[in-house]
């Protein structure tokens, strides 16, 4: 096997790994928190980050304010392709 073929295989594998890394979605987690706690904080943060009260119902929010609100309530945002238990999807 030639060195150029080995380089091609290594580069191909690297592209697959990089491509898969972008496939995850963001989730929010907090040690010991429940789905109900996340739902409450998510709903309240959406209201606070929405330009109008009706906009929050449709998920129209300022992402920066929304994320800052959840972070301020102790939630941590991480990207997963298969999240562990206790991590929940927000509006994003």
Instruction: Domain ranges for the chain, please list them.
Output: 24-88
Q: What is the pTM for the complete model shown?
A: 0.72
- pLDDT score, position 4: 57
The 10 Å Cβ neighbour count of residue 29 is 18
- pLDDT score, position 56: 83
The closest of 42, 47, 77 to 61, measured between CA atoms, is: 47
Contacts of residue 73, defined as CB under 8 A and 6 or more positions apart, other chains included, come to 41, 45
Query: Measured between alpha carbons, how far is 84 from 10 in angstroms, rounded to an integer?
Result: 30
Half-sphere exposure of 80 (CA within 13 A, CB side): 14
- pLDDT score, position 73: 98
- pLDDT score, position 13: 47
Q: Residue 45 in contact with residue 66, Cβ under 8 Å?
A: yes
Q: Which mean pLDDT values do the consecutive 10-residue runs of the chain (92 residues) have?
A: 53 46 88 97 95 87 96 98 96 84
């Amino acid at each position: 096997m030639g060195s150029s073929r080995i380089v091609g295989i290594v580069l191909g594998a690297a592209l697959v790994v990089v491509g898969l890394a972008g496939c995850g979605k963001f989730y929010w987690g907090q040690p010991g928190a429940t789905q109900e706690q996340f739902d409450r904080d998510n709903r309240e943060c959406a209201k606070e980050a929405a330009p109008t009260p009706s906009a929050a119902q449709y998920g129209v929010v300022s992402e920066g304010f929304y994320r800052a609100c959840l972070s301020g309530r102790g939630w941590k945002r991480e990207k997963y392709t298969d999240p562990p238990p206790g991590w929940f999807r927000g509006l994003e």
